[in-house]
Amino acid sequence: MSEGDDDVRAYTLRLELVDKPGELMRSLQPIAEHGGNLLSIFHERGNVTPRGYIPVEVDIESTPDRFDSIVEELSDANVNVVQAGTERYSDHLTVILSGHLIETDLSDTLTQLEATRNATVTDISLSAPTGSLDVSSARLRLATASGSTEDVLASMREIAEEKGLQIVEPLTVGGRR
């Protein structure tokens, strides 16, 4: 092990969990398996995120390489990681999707986006004024990994094209979104 691998640091994981028995324990398993030291858990059982999940904040101590393994295994286990550490999702952007969002399975669209592992949806607002079978629009607020905004937008463009959706991207000012 190199000297940097022994550097134990404190990290915060912000998760969104499905409201069913065993989900909290399932989300803690990768921490135990990769040698993370649990410091605290804040489980907001009475609250629900905009996407209908239970927010959970977990503070742990770990080496950087073990922390990366924990985050990767959580993602592989389909645990929605909203924030990992201090820099993981440090950039933010808002996009609008328009088209037959419900018919083309909005849940699948969000799953494909989060599968990139460079972004997570932090808020969504859906408007379907004439019903679910007609054109609808959604405003998505995304938290993106530092420096990956262009990659996330490229993924969004691909998903939108595949599903026949229109995307309104954020304006850039001086190279920033």
Between strands 136-144 and 91-99, the pairing is antiparallel
The architecture (CATH level 2) of 3-84 comes to 2-Layer Sandwich (3.30)
- Tens of pLDDT, residues 49-94: 767 888 898 888 899 899 999 999 998 898 988 878 755 556 778 8
* Domains 3-84 and 91-168 in one fold: yes
What CA–CA distance (Å, rounded) separates 66 from 68?
Answer: 5
Q: What is the CATH number of domain 91-168?
A: 3.30.70.260
Tokens 């324990």 found at = 25
Q: What is the pTM of this model?
A: 0.52
What are the extents of the domains in the chain? 3-84, 91-168
